[in-house]
Structure 1
Amino acid sequence: MIRYRLEVADALAHQFRVTLTIAQPAAEQALSLPVWIPGSYLVREFARHLSQLEARQGDHAVPLIQGDKAGWVAHCRGRAALVVSYVVYAFDTSVRAAYLDAQRGFFNGTGVFLRVHGREHEPHRLRIGKLPRGWQVATALPVTGQDHEAADYDELVDHPVELGRFWRGSFKAAGVPHEFIVAGALPSFDGERLLADTRRICEAQIAFWHGSKKPPFKRYVFLLNAVDDGYGGLEHRASTALIANRRDLPRSGMKSVGDGYVTLLGLISHEYFHTWNVKRLRPRDFERYDYTRENYTELLWFFEGFTSYYDDLVLRRAGLIDESRYLKLLAKTLNNVLGTPGRTVQSVAEASFDAWVKYYRPDENTVNATVSYYTKGSLVALALDLTLRSEGAGTLDDVMRGLWARSGGGPIAETDIAAVLAEVGGRSLARELAAWVHGTGELPLRPLLEQF
């Protein structure tokens, strides 16, 4: 058992303290902190926030030798437990790292928990202690007694944790418990409206993937941080971390559905769809994450782009928006892509591979040299869906469910996507994939849309 203890060291200085206990360590026990977080394709160098690293075995200090920017080796004597303690500076308000002040705490495991090399597949246990009075803990990690438990390191770091005083609500979708946490909401916030609308999204997506069967998780948690100005989300296997403008949350007495609230519902839909499409169905390149470096794939056009196609479509299918609102959202995406000169320079497959150096590092030339695998990827999904429908062979829904069945809800490659498209369509769509995914020409959306 690998054990971690996390506590608030100094909220005003934005510092967590982490204590890691390793039973029976290796003589030269390697430790490292991930340099990135899955789902956000940029090397973020989380180790820059660590300080005051110390290691002991009983009463004896153990030397920690740093070998690279994010790795250390503890030179142990005997098999007595190795105890490593360190401080994490947490002042990143995004959904990707860690944050702490006198009002709220939040963290992803990739930014705070050292990985014990050679022991990643063992059970990991987390205890959270020494929190300010009145603070609560919210996470999808299972709890046993005082501890949160994970089957391995991957599971541990795939569960973000919210700390503080927050609003908490719950519902069941397809019989599965769901919890919604909101930090920073205004007093006029209508939590019951948010729960009811989110439930409709969840039930529509569970039915999309599984019909009347249960989803591949026993509990799901939404963690939303409401701020003055912010937007984003990051998917996890049984939860998601969200950030949104607090003015976009539903308010008591609100009758109309404003654009801000539709944007929030679209974000919720997007991240929840990722529970299947990226967290389980995922690129074969990501079958095992390498936390020490970039992990490349050409398939983000599928995993992010197709998810972006379905996020607003699910809102329509769940009855949360009407046809007019859906078409306006679709037109917005079309205008976004058509207004990007880089669409004739870079393919969505290239954009996927280059995400590590281009998508998250925009500059004044980005619009001229790149295209978004989110927006153009969603239009590729639209083009494929309309093509299948126009030929009367099936729909993209059939393709998504076919990929789930083919892979058993696991890793896939582009060859799998092509194969299932051919099965559903009754013919090869290799020519379309070559042109729309690996080419830089315009998508034939006008003639496809005119048929409908």
Structure 2
Amino acid sequence: MSDSSIHFSISFVEPQAHYVDIEMDIVNFSGPFIDLKMPVWTPGSYLVREYARHVESFSATADGNALNVEKTAKNCWRVENPTRNIRVRYRVYGFEASVRTNFIDADHAFISPAATFLYVDGQLQHSASLQVNMPEQWTKVSTGLTLLDAEKHLYAVPDFDILFDSPLEIGNQDVWYFDAENVAHEFAMVGGGTYNKKQLSDDITKIVEVETAIWGENPNTNYVFITHNYQTGGGGLEHLNSTVLGASRNAYKTESAYKNFLSLVAHEYFHLWHVKRLRPKALGPFNYEAENYTTGLWIIEGFTSYYDNLIIRRCAFFSVKEYLNALANDFNLVYNRPGYQIQSAALSSFDTWIKQYRPDENSLNTSISYYNKGAMLAVALDIHIIASTGGEKRLDDVLREAYRVFYKNEKRGFEEAEFQQLAENVTGVDLRAIFEAAHSTVELDYNLYFHAVGYELVDLNKNSQELSLGIRINENDGKLLIKNVEKGSGAWDAGLNVNDELIAINNIRLDNAGKELEFLLEHGQVDDIVDVLVARDGQIRTIHVPLRHTTKQLWSIQEQLDAADEQKRLGKIWLAVAT
């Protein structure tokens, strides 16, 4: 099939109704039929999203004559192939604002390729081309794909892995350019905002420089930042030479929010090495039709979650205190979920397909995030390597060598065991305890590591006498509803349920502001039994709940007052600003 070809053409006949129209020309493929498939998930977002549910009006023709089409699976259309020149037409509905799904309206279109384009079964490595036909009111396309013809908005598609990894922003986005580390960077802002272009360009240039120094090279010639600004928004998704970010349009003028945005940029940009190239074996080549299981997300996402804020520190955007507060937040997010005693970082990675993107009212009792727990393990690794080598090595050296060995030389993904072995070979440090902790719910003594660099992890709530029922509450349409019940709390043992409406406590009507409940917790005594009047599915009942001390932890990372000079020296290496 050396002369076979695939060409896509997309149009927007009814953008206000949230549709993109796709034509797919398939030339010179042999066989009695062709199976066309749509991915069920998109790389970087580990959930089967069933993109095919948004496909409508599927048809196929050859020389203007209709061909028989049979849908053989949820994401597969079988097209008869009596000739070698087939045109397939279909529509895709897109109206979900996120970094991983299509969103189309009268103002612009964000196209997530995995949610839009079909591939010929067994031909993921086939090349293609893509033409974007825009409504008259739209003027720009932002994408990491290579432009072939600017007038026609025609793009080259080397293979379908690259297509599915190259989102498109189409409309009238605010676009500007800057160069960093010999890479041309495009910034595309959608939805307005209070951003300062020069400041963003300068600050992100610094991030690019610091990250490139970690890895030793920047593998791209061009890179695209697509940012969707909302009234409130967040999140990001990495791609091979682009990223899609979500932000709040007015947050750029707030110092803390702006720094958080820079941390998001640092996180997603770090992924162009750490996951898009250096990766676990399970994450490429991809099976787009099913889950791709790995226990290693704590390495690729967790390490990235450690480095994002550390890079902001190395750029001198964070003070030491700001950085330590950001790092302590990972410990607070993990240790204030009873699920850390049930789910390890590795199991969280493996179960991401059924848990991470599908939280429910009991998730905090049963699960953790491999992002936060992975960051905790990463800081232990980094500090342990620094301390054990007298500051000669650190986690940077491990990543740089792993990138060279697995991605550049061997051109493959890694297994966790060989990643650990490489890390120990590079540093000469025994790292077994930390890697084993990733597969266990037995917690490391993190102060064994922090003390080595003159810092200490402290729970400021350790001796708190604060009382708690063990519930989280939402106010909804004038009703106080229980949102979560903490495992092992008084509410858990007494039988308060999620969605119970709180009406009164000890015969005192509760106000919507929760002041009566606050008063009770401030003036009650531990082990007091309080009578909680609730409405459960319309039925009134009283639950007798014991008051207990809060289990909320408040972690802080502080300097050790009695740290020796060597500890202080190593701590300075750990938190140094890049030069």
What does residue 386 of structure 1 align with? Answer: 383
Higher RCO (CA-CA < 8 Å; seq separation 6+): 1
What does residue 444 of structure 1 align with? Answer: 445
Aligned pair partner of 2:427 in 419, 425, 428: 425
Contact 2:182–2:221 (Cα < 8 Å) also in 1: no
Q: Which amino acid aligns with 2:300?
A: F
What does residue 305 of structure 1 align with? Answer: 302
Contact 2:131–2:155 (Cα < 8 Å) also in 1: yes
What does residue 18 of structure 1 align with? Answer: 22
Deviation of 1:59 after TM superposition, in Å, equals 2.1
What does residue 346 of structure 1 align with? Answer: 343
- Structure 1 runs of 4+ aligned residues shifted over 6 Å read none
Aligned pair partner of 1:2 in 1, 6, 15: 6
What does residue 39 of structure 1 align with? Answer: 44
Correspondences of 1:43-442 after superposition (within 5 Å): 43-79=48-84, 81-145=85-149, 146=152, 147-186=154-193, 188-210=194-216, 213=217, 215-249=218-252, 251=253, 258-392=255-389, 394-409=393-408, 410-434=412-436, 436-442=437-443
Deviation of 1:380 after TM superposition, in Å, equals 0.4
Higher deviation after alignment, 218-227 or 122-131: 122-131
Contact 2:274–2:304 (Cα < 8 Å) also in 1: yes
Q: How many angstroms apart in 2 are the aligned matches of 1:309 and 1:427?
A: 20
Contact 1:27–1:78 (Cα < 8 Å) also in 2: no
Give the secondary structure class of the aligned counterpart of 2:210.
helix
Contact 1:9–1:16 (Cα < 8 Å) also in 2: yes
- C-alpha deviations, 1:245-275, integer Å up to 9, x for none? 11222x4xxxxx6211111111100000000
Q: How many angstroms apart in 1 are the aligned matches of 2:202 and 2:24?
A: 41
Give the secondary structure class of the aligned counterpart of 2:166.
coil
What does residue 254 of structure 1 align with? Answer: none
Q: Which amino acid aligns with 1:209?
A: W
Change (3 A) 1:166 1:59: closer
Aligned length: 440
Q: How many angstroms apart in 2 are the aligned matches of 1:58 and 1:131?
A: 27
Q: How many angstroms apart in 1 are the aligned matches of 2:334 and 2:444?
A: 10
Deviation of 1:305 after TM superposition, in Å, equals 0.2
Deviation of 1:121 after TM superposition, in Å, equals 1.4
Change (3 A) 1:338 1:118: closer
Deviation of 1:427 after TM superposition, in Å, equals 4.1
Deviation of 1:316 after TM superposition, in Å, equals 0.9
Contact 1:278–1:303 (Cα < 8 Å) also in 2: yes
Unaligned runs of 5+ in 1: 252-256
- C-alpha deviations, 1:120-174, integer Å up to 9, x for none? 2121100000324243111111011131001111111110100111111111111
Give the secondary structure class of the aligned counterpart of 2:282.
helix
Q: How many angstroms apart in 1 are the aligned matches of 2:161 and 2:33?
A: 22
Q: How many angstroms apart in 2 are the aligned matches of 1:358 and 1:130?
A: 39
Q: How many angstroms apart in 1 are the aligned matches of 2:348 and 2:108?
A: 36
What TM-score, normalized by structure 1, do the two folds share? Answer: 0.95
- C-alpha deviations, 1:395-446, integer Å up to 9, x for none? 1111111111221344111022111221133244223311x21111122212
Contact 2:380–2:434 (Cα < 8 Å) also in 1: no
Contact 2:139–2:171 (Cα < 8 Å) also in 1: yes
CA RMSD of aligned residues (A): 1.3
Q: Which amino acid aligns with 2:399?
A: M
- C-alpha deviations, 1:317-359, integer Å up to 9, x for none? 1122221211111121221112121111111100000000001
